[in-house]
Amino acid sequence: MDSLMLSHQPVWALNLIHYIEKPGSLRTFATSYKQIYADHSWHPIAVGAFGYGLGVRDILFELARRARFPQASGDYVVVIDVPPS
């Protein structure tokens, strides 16, 4: 992975998160976004994609804003809402 990152130097790095059930669940992932950015000299923008529980639906856009590093790297949020089966 390190050699691929170095040879291709991607502008974006996507970090898939399994599931966010409460606001604090994003903390670990936010730390990893900062680390991805810091580990590479060209500083790829790290963004996250995640599933979410009903308990965070009201703060979904805030969580999506926190799911990137650096924070000022854009203001795009895509929500795909699939009703429970």
Q: Which domain holds residue 12?
A: 1-49+70-77
H or E element, residue 83: none
> pTM of this prediction?
0.74
85: in domain: no
In a domain, 26, yes or no: yes
Q: What is the pLDDT of residues 37-46, one digit of tens each?
A: 999 999 999 9
In-domain check, residue 16: yes
In this prediction, residues 19-46 reach a mean pLDDT of 89
% pLDDT > 70, the chain: 100
What integer pLDDT is reported at residue 7 of this predicted model?
A: 95
For the chain, the first-to-last Cα distance in angstroms comes to 37
1 located within any domain: yes
* Phi, psi torsion values for 39, nearest 5 degrees: -75, -15
Phi (first) and psi of residue 15, to 5 degrees: -110, 110
Domain count, the chain: 1
Identify which has the larger pLDDT, 77 or 31.
31
